[in-house]
């Protein structure tokens, strides 16, 4: 949040009004995944001194804290985990013989002590095999008002998101220009759209412009318009973005990339609401300007004019990165998965009533893994990965190859716990369950290990001991060539026919120089 520190303190900033960091802090449990996906986003607030028992029957969760019911999942023990404050730190104790519990990517066998900074960041919990929670020390969640501006566009029930929607409703009613700041992928254009929809200008156009995409030489004509013949190549008159947004709102994205030579004209347009089309006289415009940037607009080496920066930010909204409101990850991910499924009609079926324990476990593992990641690309990256999950064909969800290398294991997690769970023993898994998991995960070892809650080495050993299963390296060369020919070189189809991992098969072919 260095941008907030560098900002001119005379500017009103919506960030200063957000309650997420300044109001009382309480322990909040948020349901990030549940076998009944309709419960994703429910919360429970631990308000009394404690200790608290977390399990199948307590505490109560709800969209309004305490309004719903307990976890009520048969794979979670009645008493799974005990939480208690000990000298300013939170002790997490797993009851002996209780259901599996993973904390921050690591299997919990006895006691664990969490410091306040860890709790403020948020600590992921996996209970049983199908419930994912976030334990966080934060402001209490608020009720979500369905008629609140931005409710449809801006998903999330955290105190931060609720307050952001409140501020959009308040600022939207005014005609003041707004500067939206935040990291890439935090939803600046969605905020601009919500501001427009909340304003008296909602029936008029919202014109969105990417300032970094306008060539400097064409910027005056693109923004303010031009007359035919006013410059070389002007074969017809053009309105310009300001006039296109007449009566409505103009969203100037990447405002930090505005060419220095056009900044004085843009400042005049904001101050006087007057523009001068190229080759034409000055004319007045009625438009509200919403701008956005993820770049610094002040400081050494910055060529952005201070006067323009102050005028753009008559009101300033600073958006938090996703890692600073992780309790919204479950609801956002479910929204993106549902939207992608509705559009594509492909990929693994989403969990719901009738899903098997294996399917629920695989989806819970995916949500837990995503909750442990810090998402440098924020909400945009989360949406893209959700799309890739749905495009990957298979009965169970797997992490797409394109992002598997970029998704880091949870900080502080043991390597095996971060990728394979190790919550069960392979001896507990029957031959049928193992074969079904192998087929559903397309014979990829890491997804099989995550789905079954076992270690990857144990999967490799089980493959060696199971008739009809083998590794890609064990397929005879002649059989491999014949299968490739029968499937016209389609690697995925060949791998499924041979019942081996496509990624391992790809590596074998690459090593052979094919």
**Sequence spans of domains, the chain:** 22-138, 177-313, 324-511
**Per-residue model confidence (pLDDT) at position 233:** 59
Query: Is 509 a residue whose pLDDT tops 90?
Result: no
Distance separating alpha carbons of residues 238 and 37, to the nearest angstrom? 50
Looking at per-residue pLDDT, the higher value among 182 and 490 belongs to 182
Q: What is the pTM (predicted TM-score) of this model?
A: 0.76
pLDDT tens digits for range 136-177: 999 888 776 666 656 678 899 898 998 899 999 999 889 999
Question: Which segment of 74-88, 241-255, 331-345 scores lowest on mean pLDDT?
Answer: 331-345
Looking at per-residue pLDDT, the higher value among 56 and 449 belongs to 56
**Per-residue model confidence (pLDDT) at position 83:** 96
CATH number of the domain located at residue range(s) 177-313 in this protein: 3.40.50.300
Answer whether 161's CB lies under 8 Å from 20's CB: no
pLDDT tens digits for range 274-332: 998 887 888 999 999 999 999 888 877 778 888 998 898 889 999 999 999 999 999 99
- Rounded to the nearest integer, the mean pLDDT of the chain is 83
Distance separating alpha carbons of residues 399 and 389, to the nearest angstrom? 6
When pLDDT is cut at 50, 70 and 90, the band that residue 79 belongs to is very high
Structure tokens at 278: 């190229």
When pLDDT is cut at 50, 70 and 90, the band that residue 458 belongs to is confident
Q: Which long-range contacts (CB under 8 A, 24 or more apart) does 84-93 make?
A: 84/50, 84/51, 84/52, 85/49, 85/50, 85/51, 86/113, 88/116, 89/113, 89/114, 89/115, 89/116, 90/27, 90/114, 90/119
When pLDDT is cut at 50, 70 and 90, the band that residue 347 belongs to is low
Domain 22-138 shares a fold with domain 177-313:
no
When pLDDT is cut at 50, 70 and 90, the band that residue 3 belongs to is very low
Burial (CB count <10 Å: 0-12, 13-18, 19+), residue 18 = buried
DSSP calls for 6-70: HS-TTS-BGGGG-TTTTS--EEEEEEEE-SSGGGTT-EEEE-SS--EEESSS-S-BBSSTTSSB-
Residue with tokens 């013989």: 97
**Per-residue model confidence (pLDDT) at position 464:** 84
pLDDT tens digits for range 194-208: 999 999 999 999 999
Is 172 strand, coil or helix? helix
CATH number of the domain located at residue range(s) 22-138 in this protein: 2.60.200.20
């Amino acid at each position: 949040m260095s941008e907030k520190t560098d900002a001119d303190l005379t500017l009103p900033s919506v960030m200063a009004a957000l309650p997420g960091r300044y109001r009382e802090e309480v322990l909040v449990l948020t349901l990030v995944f549940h076998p009944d996906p309709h419960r994703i986003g429910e919360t429970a607030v631990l308000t009394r001194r404690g200790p608290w028992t977390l399990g199948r029957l307590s505490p109560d969760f709800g969209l309004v804290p305490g309004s719903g019911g307990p976890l009520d999942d048969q794979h979670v023990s009645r008493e799974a985990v005990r939480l208690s404050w000990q000298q300013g730190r939170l002790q997490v104790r797993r009851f002996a013989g209780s259901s599996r519990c993973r904390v921050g990517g690591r299997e919990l066998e006895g006691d664990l002590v969490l410091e306040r900074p860890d709790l403020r960041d948020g600590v992921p919990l996996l209970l049983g095999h199908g419930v994912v929670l976030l334990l966080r020390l934060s402001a209490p969640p608020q009720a979500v008002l369905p008629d609140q501006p931005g409710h449809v566009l801006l998903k999330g029930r955290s105190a931060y998101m609720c307050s952001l929607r409140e501020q959009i409703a308040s600022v939207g009613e005014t005609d003041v220009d707004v500067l939206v700041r935040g990291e890439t992928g935090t939803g600046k254009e969605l905020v601009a759209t919500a501001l427009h929809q909340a304003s008296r200008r909602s029936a008029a156009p919202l014109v969105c412009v990417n300032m970094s995409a306008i060539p400097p030489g064409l910027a005056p004509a693109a923004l303010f318009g031009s007359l035919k013949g006013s410059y070389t190549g002007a074969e017809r008159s053009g309105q310009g973005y300001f006039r296109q947004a007449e009566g409505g709102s103009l969203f100037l994205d990447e405002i930090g990339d505005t060419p220095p030579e056009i900044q004085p004209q843009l400042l005049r347009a904001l101050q006087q609401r007057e523009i001068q089309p190229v080759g034409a006289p000055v004319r007045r415009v009625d438009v509200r300007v919403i701008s956005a940037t993820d770049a610094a607009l002040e400081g050494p080496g910055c060529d952005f004019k201070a006067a323009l920066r102050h005028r753009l930010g008559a009101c300033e909204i600073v958006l938090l990165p996703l890692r600073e409101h992780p309790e919204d990850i479950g609801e956002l991910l479910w929204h993106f998965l549902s939207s992608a499924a509705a559009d594509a009609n492909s990929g693994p079926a989403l969990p719901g009533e009738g899903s098997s324990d294996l399917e629920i476990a695989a989806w819970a593992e995916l949500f837990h893994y995503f909750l442990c990641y810090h998402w440098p690309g924020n909400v945009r990256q989360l949406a893209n990965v959700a799309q890739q999950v749905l495009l990957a064909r298979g009965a169970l969800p797997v992490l797409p190859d394109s992002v598997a290398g970029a998704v880091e294991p949870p900080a502080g997690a043991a390597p095996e716990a971060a990728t394979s769970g190790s919550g069960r023993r392979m001896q507990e898994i029957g031959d049928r369950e193992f074969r079904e998991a192998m087929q559903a995960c397309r014979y990829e070892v890491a997804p099989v290990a995550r789905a079954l809650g076992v270690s990857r080495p144990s999967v490799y050993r089980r493959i060696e001991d199971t008739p009809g299963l083998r590794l890609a390296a064990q397929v005879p060369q002649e059989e491999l060539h014949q299968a490739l020919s029968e499937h016209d070189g389609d690697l995925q189809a060949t791998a499924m026919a041979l019942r081996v991992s496509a990624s391992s098969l790809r590596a074998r072919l690459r090593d052979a120089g094919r």
